[in-house]
Amino acid sequence: MGLDQSDSSFKIQVGFALASGNFTAPNITVTETGYVGISTTTPQYTLDVNGTARVSGAINASTLNMTSTSNPAMAPILYTNGYNGNLLEAYFSSSDRYGLNLDGGVMRMYASSAYDLSALALSLNNNNTFTDLLFVTHGGNVGIGTTAPAYPLDVNGTARVNVNNLENNKLLVLYDGNAGDPVNTATDFYGFGINASTLRYQVQPGDSHTFYNGTTTTFTTGGGGSNVQTDYSELLLFQFNDFGPLDGPDRIRHLAGAHKFQVYTGASVNPTDTAAFWADNNYNTAMYIANSGYVGIGTNTPAYPLDVNGAGNVNGSFNVNGILQVNGTIFATGDIVALSDASVKTEINRIQDPLKKMMELTGYTYQRADSDRRHCGIIAQDLLRVLPEAVYEDGSGRLAVAYPNLVALLIEGVNELNQKMVKLAEKCQYYEATLHSIQAR
């Protein structure tokens, strides 16, 4: 042991043999500023230890700086012999403490239970500017990308649940009825999952899937294994920024056990608009359904329950219980027939004075205002005076002729002509016989 004060420091050297009067490798150095160095001659702190230190009690210090020069680096603080307890702590009171704790193999990071705003954060530090990556509030909510989590897990950003980017056997379970179910066959839970490359929205067996718009049920399926659509459930069809209320426009509804397509205005629960089916991206309408229920094909202003503007082709039966109006020409490769069985007729009366009626009609050729070619026919108003049974009126007051029905008038006219011809033949025979009798005298 020796003492030296050859410069501004007071040095104590222990464990070295004195080979000369100059101490070149002191074990402890105390500077004039009060810094104490152990195994260093240039202490930078009040206690500066270059090497391993063992502390069996507590260390109270405002700043404790530790480094390790070993390669690979050794932890600056080592706890051995199965230590359990606080590893590092900022202590203010028994209930106001922050630090690290090791308890039976569990490493805990803790914050004050007394301070309501205390929290735990996993952060990045840039010159003491902290970016919190994970934040745990005093109440236990965990935030990722947010320091104000409002839920037990609150993620501000994109969350990914995956295993090796596979398409099978991953579940997001909200409630588990049987935690022992294998992931690849589990069905007794509420939640979402991917199984056999299929995205599943899962409920427990026998329960239902129900979709809501606010507090209104829009669609329900499941329940007993059957598909059940709740009345007034809807498939909303929004266009551009057309986001109306619950009774807003454009929707397919399920009403009273039937699927119905209905279009609404934004302020009414009643269907008051129209539905159009476009043939191309230029909004050329192929079929139009008016709010009256009339259907137009080739026209946006249907005047009849079915209003076709153009040529029509029917390969098979076409049954119309009412009037069929076609703005065009009907081509038929077969017969156009009308039911004429006696069993459907009552008050059967023979047409009277058919020739007189026919003589009041005139055949014309004419140019129609809605056609490029000339036509032939009669005037419906003329026929209305003599045979109203063959005249029809459309919804706008215009008259139409049932030309096939004129066959009955023509037949009766031919019959009347035949009767006249028979009488004329009888008269001719009488006059011919009389003439021969006169000539024979």
pLDDT in tens, 83-102: 788 888 888 888 899 998 88
Tell how many helices (H) and how many strands (E) occur in the chain: 3, 29
Taking the CA atoms of the chain, what radius of gyration do you get in angstroms?
52
Three-state DSSP state, 368: coil
Return the amino acid letter for 406: L
Query: Which residues lie closer than 8 Å to 109 by C-beta, 6 or more apart?
Result: 99, 100, 101, 120
CA distances in angstroms from 33 to 36, 43, 46, 356, listed in the order given: 9, 10, 9, 143
What CA–CA distance (Å, rounded) separates 203 from 406? 69
Mean pLDDT of all residues in 257-270: 50
Distances (CA, A) of 5 to 8, 29, 31, 46, 277: 7, 11, 11, 20, 104
pLDDT at 262 over 50: yes
For 13, the token pair is 């050297």
- Considering only 30-44, 126-140, 208-222, which range has the smallest mean pLDDT? 208-222
Spatial distance between the Cα atoms of 159 and 291, rounded to a whole number of angstroms: 46
What average pLDDT does the structure give for the chain?
Answer: 78
H-helix segments, 126-243: none
Q: Whole-angstrom Cα distance, residue 265 to residue 251?
A: 11
| pLDDT digit string, tens, across residues 63-88 | 666 666 655 556 666 666 667 888 88
